[in-house]
Amino acid sequence: MKPILSFDNVTKQYPNGVHALQNISFSVHSGEFISIIGPSGSGKSTLLRAINKLITINSGHVLVDGEEISGQSGRRLRNTRCKVGMIFQNYNLVYRLSVLQNVLHGRLGHMRGIRGVFGMYTEEDKKEAIDLLQELGLGSFCYNRANDLSGGQKQRVGIARAIMQDPALLLCDEPIASLDPSSAKTIMDILYNMTQKRKIACIVNLHQLDVAEKYSTRIIGLSKGTIVFDGKPEDLTDEVIEKIYGTSKENLMMGGSGDEEAYSADLAC
């Protein structure tokens, strides 16, 4: 099976001299749910942004659905980006617009000319957006302003918008970092179930080790811009965790806030 994403010896060095990624290589196939873990500054966000060329890499190759995105621009780049949905920590919604309009924005990359400029969505698009919102428990909020929603509801709208894009790959950059423990569990359940149901590959950047272990089919551990672990959650030993984070698993679980302890308890229910 052809991978939906391939990194081949990808390196990214910022102008200040920081090597954010160093000779990174891995592939992703349809249906995988991959968590990227590692301490702050390990290269997690840079890795995600290299996938859809939000940053330019210094060397190596990034292939999306068999096409190298690194050298693309203009329409070719837009067409490739249509295959990659993205969910953000801070939602990135247009708050003055309705929930339904925000979800429909997921179709803009597929629209050409005047239809895209004026948001002339088809009735089929509108029905699909409403069906998605109903699936996410937001059917009654279609015509509410996005600004009126809670954090967890806003993230569900972000997920619906990304799914409307009909992506082959979904990227999630710290999607639960701004949420309370109960909302965070809801969002992770939704991400996992919706991507598995649709056979969409999903890559999630996470700080919460216990969440990565619970949901992932595969975990990639980064440290100082290099991959130090790539495997199944059950193979993530205490020794590997210490290699990734530079501290023990016990310190990671106990060194945070009460919210982290509450979230761990919530996951155990």
- In sequence order, what DSSP letters do the residues of 92-113 get, joined into one string? ---TTSBHHHHHHGGGGGG--H
Give residue 111's pLDDT.
77
- Strand 218-223 relative to strand 226-231: parallel, antiparallel, unpaired? antiparallel
Find residue 221's DSSP bridge partners: 37, 229
Low pLDDT (below 70) residues in the chain? 113-119, 253-269
Query: What pLDDT, on the 0 to 100 scale, is given for residue 116?
Result: 56
Q: What is the dihedral of CA 153, 157, 158, 164, to 10 degrees?
A: 160
Tokens matching residue 241 = 């965790």
pLDDT of residue 102: 96
CA distance 129 to 261: 36
What is the pLDDT at residue 265?
34
The answer to whether 180 and 262 have CB atoms below 8 angstroms apart is no
- C-alpha count within 13 angstroms, C-beta hemisphere, residue 185: 14
Average pLDDT, the chain: 90
**3-state SS assignment for residue 162:** helix
Q: Report domain 5-83+168-268's class.
A: alpha beta
Sequence-ordered strand ranges (E) for 138-200: 169-173
Residues 6+ apart with CB under 8 A from 172: 86, 87, 191, 202, 203, 204, 205
pTM to 2 decimal places: 0.89
CATH 3.40.50.300 in the chain: give the residue spans. 5-83+168-268
SS3 state at 1: coil
Q: What is the pLDDT of residues 49-77, one digit of tens each?
A: 999 999 999 999 999 999 999 889 998 99
Summarize the chain as % helix, strand, coil (round to 5): 45, 20, 35
Whole-angstrom CA distances from 196 to 127, 181, 226, 242 are 22, 23, 28, 30
